[in-house]
Structure 1
Amino acid sequence: MDVTAPCPDPFNMAAYVLGAGATQPDKVALSLLYPDHAEDWTYRDVVQAVRGTATGLLARGLAPGDIVLMRLGNTPDFPLAYLGALAAGLVPVPTAAALTAPEVDKIIATVAPKLILRDPEVPCPDISLTVGLEELRAMRALPPADFHMGDPDRLGYIIYTSGTSGKPSAVMHAHRAIWARRMMWNGWYGLRADDRVLHAGAFNWTYTLGTGLMDPWTIGATALIPAPGIPASDLPGLMARHRATIFAAAPGVFRQLLKDRDRLDLPDLRHGLSAGEKMAPSVRAAWNAATGKMVYEAFGMSECSTFISGSPDTPAKEGALGTAQPGRRVCLMGADGPVPAGTPGTIAIHRSDPGLMLGYFGEPEATAAKYAGEWFLTGDQAVMDDDGQITYLGRNDDMMNAGGFRVSPIEVEATLLHAPGITGVGVTSVEIKKDVEVIAAFYTAAAPLDEGILDAFAQEHLARYKQPRLYVHVDSLPTSGNGKLLRRALRAQFEARHQ
């Protein structure tokens, strides 16, 4: 497979994802795993559901290019509606179910969707654009729509990421973004058509959507997804029972399933995949000891998915992220351009990468600011050795990571400043015990505030993964000479006191 071959033109992302499955309609595309049984969807089922959904959305008066906001839960409705919108040439905006109604209100104001697909259990403003689950599911039985073929560079979908400005940014991706993911098949996954990939995440998480569903389906493999509510402790049994060959999860899930276990008998498993945040060496060592299998990590971002990783063909060296996936053009940038091996710089990816975003929706200046000539700057610092192995050094901003979601401290701070009694606040992640970090809010107030009240305020205004797990009353917040909040000083002071 030539991973550098140009994306076909005309192109449709959904047609490409389902192409291999359409040739083997009786093969199981998706198994939704329950403790005592599995709900199977064949490729015939999935293709019909996707193309029928496309018909139903178009019958609602939508036209190619129209934006469709997704407020759906952790069910197969999510990927089927996502691909159905893409099949029709619409632009889906998948969003985390944990977002609150006020947060969704801001998204609606930004992208102006023509339709909202909504699970009634998922928070969303009550507006007339909503299509409920009953109507959405009924669309699957409609006559199949033709795939809307077009320019692979046209807008395909929009995902949200927390930016350094303090407000989430809408990242626009072209249909061709899925074509770039072929570089991950050997560059990270070691993915094969006969694989059974168990992803521990929810359907409505972009990590699950890409690694757990879109990529296995594109190659004609089988996706295994635990049903909602399945605890991490049950995952080893599900992996063994359903003959999973690859297991993917965030590092925290690996840690949970290893709790109180020193051995996991997984005879069909070849290896694990980890992304979302850096895996602690202790967790990696415990996994290797318990399973005898390797785990391969990947580095990426919403603007380009993953593009640096270890893999079965090229494992990462100890302490390194790995190497640029075959077909990627990656460098480390200094003030005057790419730096040589051994010199720290900012991780950058070339503008020509087919997986790179089109830009931030409605933010041309913010988009332009991310580039240095032909190179997209991630803001992450690293050093590369002579073998191309890249070691991560940290970020040049204060972004946090909560269970695989990148979170801007500025966004959380701006929200908490409206909490009753708070006069100032600084938010950062802190290590509360070895290899375990949480989001902490350091606040000033006339006196320590009731944490229950602060928790309730955060729950009303912030998605669960953005909410602080720790509130610390301080007399003052550390600032630089020009008045800039020093979040790293807050972290250092806290950890010095609690070690």
Structure 2
Amino acid sequence: MPPPKFLDERAAHWAATKPDEEAVTYLGRTWTWSQWYDRVRRLAGALSAWGVGRGDVVAFLDKNHPACVEMTLAAGMLGAGNAIINFRLAADELDYVLNDCGAKVLVVGEELRPGIDAIADRLTAVEHIVTVTPEGGDGDEYEALLAGASPVDRSPEVTPEDTAIVMYSSGTTGRPKGIALTHSNVIAHTLNAFEGWPLGDGDKSLVAMPLFHVGGSSYMQWGLHHGAPSYMTRDIDGMALAGGILAGANRTFLVPAVLSKVFETGDDAVKLFGALKTFAYGASPMPLPLLRSALAAWPETEFIQVYGLTEVSGAISRLGPDDHREASEARLMSAGTVVPGSEVRVVDPDTGDEVPVGEQGELWFRSPQLMKGYLNRPDDTAESITPEGWFRTGDIGRVDDGGYIFVEDRLKDMIISGGENIYSIEVERVLAEHPAVSEVAVIGVPDEKWGESVKAVVTLDGDVSESDLIAFAREHLAAYKCPKSVDIVDELPRNPTGKILKKDLRKPYWEGRDRTTV
């Protein structure tokens, strides 16, 4: 079968070749491929009747729901993009994002509708607002819209380079930026990131990561591409995940924080998750002790680590199952090798010159997965992508002589103390080895003598003192890299995908000072 050019192609193919087989299951409802693709075509008909066409944007705002994927495919059939919005945004943020992307139609979850109604008079582009419910029962405006619509086929005007998905950055360095991903970007990711790991007969994909996150959205495309059924959860919680596994889901992508919760829950949970054939993970660093525990507990499970960014449609490097089982411990701490069809460079961030193999610098990537650009921001796009097509990630890392990528830190997370560069991830890896440490984040805080000093913020799974942890670090790190102080907290702040929010940890220490809190 030739590679698809448009996101709806595979759904159409499966609807034609196995119409009565399961496509999507969600909260007790199941749609076959023919049923699901009919919904997509009806939604495309409804959007077209409202004047949505090539170059337009629609938006989806809710927790995980099949309607989000239907919106992406249906809008794409018309040459429009679907802006998938973080459901945790505050009113002012929603106002900004919806106006910035110029969404003409908004599908919103019923729980979030009151917040949208409160800012409706500030939404300059939105012409139609449709409420969707988790259960899809009577009174569901979205279901009524589909029922009354006439199905249409893809517009002949659509090209693979049309924007299909818009996702917004977290806005840590200012206003969030819309990241425009084309059909060809997303398809290149699906073909490259998962090359060598096809879904086959009997496989079922557990889709639990938030769809507004590129990890969740791109992972959903894996099952769609291979025609495997997807079991979608509304939230990432233990009961929902367990329900998916008990329903036969055996492949998934999650964040390390979820894996940690599985082991905290106990032996029954660990045994249940051992039914997974594939456990892909990413979006935040995996503590090595946790990974060792998982590898030992699930000897038959294939582990895949991915490192990526929204701007490259998801994963840009991967550490495969063989590397997890056979690699040296040093390589286990890598992000693997660049995905097929993509290139990596390590450059001096000040000069742009490539550094020798093994030396640290900023990671740059060139790939067919690379975004079309930042929506309505040509200057930001030009600043991030070189004329030769290299994307400046803002991540500090190195590549060894085997091509394995080691992500050391974000440029903005690097701590400069007394003129020395200290990479927070290096310190975190050491402290994570202490048996009493459950989770750790390392930040730089003001220091009158050195400019910045190293602070560790930890959650514990045992008894240990601040001085003990500092002494432990000194056994493994140069003195200047060791934390000068340790805060012990009940939990670390996280975003909806489980990534630790270091800006929130830094903020109280840098309030009123000249270092950014991002």
**Quick check: TM above 0.5?**
yes
Deviations 1:392-413 (A, max 9, x none): 1111114999xxxxxxx9xxxx
Structure 2 counterpart of 1:87, which letter?
M
**Inter-partner Cα distance in structure 1 for 2:33 and 2:18:** 7
Shift of 1:377: 1.0
* 242-251 vs 51-60, which moves further: 242-251
Q: Would you say 1:50 and 2:40 are equivalent positions?
A: yes
Residue 387, structure 1, aligned to residue 417, structure 2: no
Tell me the secondary structure at the aligned position of residue 264 of structure 1: helix
Match of 1:175 in 2: 183
Specify the SS of the correspondent of 2:166: strand
Q: Is the 8 A contact 1:100 1:463 kept in 2?
A: no
C-alpha distance in structure 2 between counterparts of 1:326 and 1:110, whole Å: 34
User: How far apart, in 2, do the equivalents of 1:250 and 1:73 lie?
Assistant: 17
Residue of structure 2 equivalent to 1:106: 96
Instruction: Return the offset for 1:169.
Output: 0.7
In structure 1, the residue matched to 2:150 is 143
Corresponding residue number in structure 2 for 1:217: 224
Verify the 8 A CA contact 2:252 2:280 in the aligned structure 1.
yes
Distance 1:72 1:434 in 2: 34
The farther-off stretch of 280-289 and 127-136 is: 127-136
> What CA distance in whole angstroms lies between the structure 1 residues aligned with 2:306 and 2:498?
25
Show CA shifts across 1:8-42 (max 9, x none). Answer: 6xx4322345434542111111122x5xxx42211
Post-superposition shift, 1:285? 1.9
Q: Cα deviation per residue 1:85-118 (whole Å; 9 max; x = unaligned)?
A: 2222222111011112211111133222222222
Contact 2:395 2:408 in 1 (8 A): yes
1:219 deviation in Å? 1.3
Contact 2:305 2:335 in 1 (8 A): yes
The code of the aligned residue for 1:135 comes to E
| Alignment counterpart, residue 514 of structure 2, candidates 463, 484, 492 | 484
1:264 matched to 2:271? The reply is yes
Matched, 1:81 2:71: yes
Number of the residue aligned with 1:196: 204
Equivalent residue number for residue 288 of structure 1:
295
CA contact (8 A) 1:164 1:397 kept: no
Higher RCO, 1 vs 2 (CA within 8 Å, ≥6 residues apart): 1
CA contact (8 A) 1:347 1:381 kept: yes
Decide which of 234, 237, 259 is 1:231's aligned counterpart.
Answer: 237
CA distance in 2, matches of 1:486, 1:58: 45
Tell me the amino acid that sits aligned with residue 78 of structure 2: A
- The one of 447, 451, 459 equivalent to 1:433 is 459
Among 277, 283, 306, the residue aligned to 1:276:
283
* Amino acid in structure 2 at the alignment position of 1:183: N
How has the CA–CA distance of structure 1 residues 53 and 183 changed in structure 2, closer, same or farther, with 3 Å as cutoff? same
Q: Distance in 1 between matches of 2:195 and 2:309?
A: 19
Amino acid of the structure 1 residue aligned with 2:382: A
Output one character per residue of 1:334-372: Cα deviation in whole Å (capped at 9) or x when no partner: 33533332122221111xx22111111121111111134
Shift of 1:81: 2.2
Range with bigger deviation, 192-201 or 57-66: 192-201
Q: Classify 1:259/1:273 alpha carbon distance in 2 versus 1 (closer, same or farther; 3 Å).
A: same
C-alpha separation in 1, matches of 2:91 and 2:255: 26
Unaligned runs of 5+ in 1: 402-408, 410-425, 436-457, 489-499
Separation in structure 2 between the aligned mates of residue 272 and residue 467 of structure 1, nearest angstrom:
24
- Counterpart amino acid of 2:249? A
Of 316, 319, 337, which aligns to 1:310?
Answer: 319
1:398–1:487 Cα contact (<8 Å) kept: no
What's the counterpart of residue 378 of structure 2?
364
Residues 322 and 390, structure 1, Cα contact 8 Å, conserved in 2: yes
Change (3 A) 1:338 1:26: farther
What secondary structure is seen at the aligned counterpart in 1 of 2:253?
strand
Give the corresponding residue for 2:355: 339
Give the drift of 1:130.
Answer: 3.4
Q: For residues 303 and 229 of structure 1, do their structure 2 counterparts lie closer, same or farther at Cα, with a shift above 3 Å needed?
A: closer
Cα distance in 2, alignment partners of residues 355 and 389 from structure 1: 20
Output the amino acid matched with 1:321: A
Runs of 4+ in structure 1 displaced over 6 angstroms? Answer: 462-474
**Structure 2 stretches of 5 or more lacking a match?**
132-139, 415-423, 426-442, 444-451, 462-492
- Alignment of 1:349 onto 2:347: no
What is the rounded CA distance, in whole Å, between the counterparts of 1:348 and 1:193 in structure 2?
38
> What SS does the aligned partner of 1:140 have?
helix
Counterpart in the other structure of 1:450: none
Task: From the superposition, tell whether residues 112 and 96 of structure 1 become closer, same or farther in structure 2 (CA, over 3 Å).
Answer: same
CA separation of 1:468 and 1:328: change in aligned 2, threshold 3 A: closer
Q: Is the CA contact (8 Å cut-off) linking 2:24 and 2:32 kept in structure 1?
A: yes
Distance 1:326 1:12, change over 3 A: closer
Does structure 1 residue 252 correspond to structure 2 residue 257? yes
Aligned amino acid, residue 235 of structure 1: L
State how far apart, in whole Å, the 2-side matches of 1:96 and 1:197 are.
Answer: 23
**Is residue 209–residue 236 contact of structure 2 (8 Å, CA) maintained in 1?**
no
Structure 1's 362 and 466: CA in aligned 2 closer, same or farther, altered over 3 A?
farther
Structure 2 counterpart of 1:382, which letter?
G
Q: Does 1:90 align with 2:118?
A: no
- Structure 1 residue 57: Cα displacement: 0.8
Q: Distance in 1 between matches of 2:141 and 2:407?
A: 47
| Cα distance in 1, alignment partners of residues 503 and 412 from structure 2 | 21
Q: Which of 127, 130, 133 matches 1:132?
A: 130
| TM-aligned CA deviation for residue 382 of structure 1 | 1.2
- Cα 1:247–1:108 shift into 2, 3 Å: closer
SS of aligned partner of 2:186: helix
CA RMSD between the two structures: 3.5
Q: Count residues with an aligned counterpart.
A: 419
- Describe the shift of the 1:46–1:373 C-alpha distance in structure 2 as closer, same or farther (beyond 3 A): same
Distance 1:202 1:164 in 2: 19
Taking structure 1 as reference, are residues 18 and 257 closer, same or farther at Cα in structure 2, changes over 3 Å only? farther
